[in-house]
Structure 1
């Protein structure tokens, strides 16, 4: 796995964190809400920057693949955080489709070609 994939995975994690901060903003007011807003701005900025960085350099990830993997990692992370932080339901079908999404992300990474 080249460095761009590591950068992309970290960017996807920050995408999950910016979604988490949106949920926390809805649950808070005043200074707490402002803190979550600042966290959101930081997380979304880092997420986008890392997505951008993963598509450049010596071994760039193709744009379509990078975006799909980044969004998929963010989606998986957001569902997991929703379960852990917001006590969202854990059902067979949620876990089943989450698993298929994870397999799709891995498949995209394994079949990705380097952009020329």
Structure 2
């Protein structure tokens, strides 16, 4: 795995963090949660921008968004007791397959 992919995965994990952080900011009325959320947004975008120096933008963006969506959905179920229906889990599984597939076929340019 190249350093660009590692940066991209870290960027995706930070996207999960800031997405979940939005829940804790209560509309950006809680200062600490708001500062941490904004810091995660900036760090996530910064790492994404470094990753796309070597990776195709379409692949990198799709993987970044996919990691964020998958992570937010799974942690939403765990932390916030959001529904974990069989259909939802099936489609989240498909999203995971898509992320891995993009990694395997995406390469760098």
TM-score bucket (shorter structure): over 0.9
In the superposition, the TM-score normalised over structure 2's length comes to 0.94
Cα RMSD (Å): 1.5
The residue that corresponds to 1:102 in the other structure is 96
Taking the TM superposition and a 5 Å limit, the aligned residue runs for 1:1-40 are 1-26=1-26, 33-40=30-37
Q: In the TM superposition, what is the alpha-carbon distance from 1:81 to its structure 2 partner?
A: 1.4
Runs of 4+ off more than 6 Å: none
In the alignment, structure 2 segments of 5+ residues that lack a partner are none
Output one character per residue of 1:25-83: Cα deviation in whole Å (capped at 9) or x when no partner: 22895xxx111100111100010001001112xxx110110000000000011011111
Question: How far is 1:24 from its partner?
Answer: 1.3
CA contact (8 A) 2:21 2:37 kept: yes
Question: Which protein shows a greater Rg?
Answer: 1
Whether 1:46 and 2:43 are equivalent positions in the alignment is yes
Aligned mates of 2:47, 2:28 — CA distance in 1: 28
Deviations 1:73-97 (A, max 9, x none): 0001101111121111111011100
How many residues matched? 109
Provide structure 1 residue ranges, at least 5 long, that are not aligned to the other structure.
Answer: none
Tell me the TM-score normalised to structure 1 length.
0.88
Q: Tell me, in whole angstroms, the C-alpha distance in 2 between the residues paired with 1:88 and 1:28.
A: 22
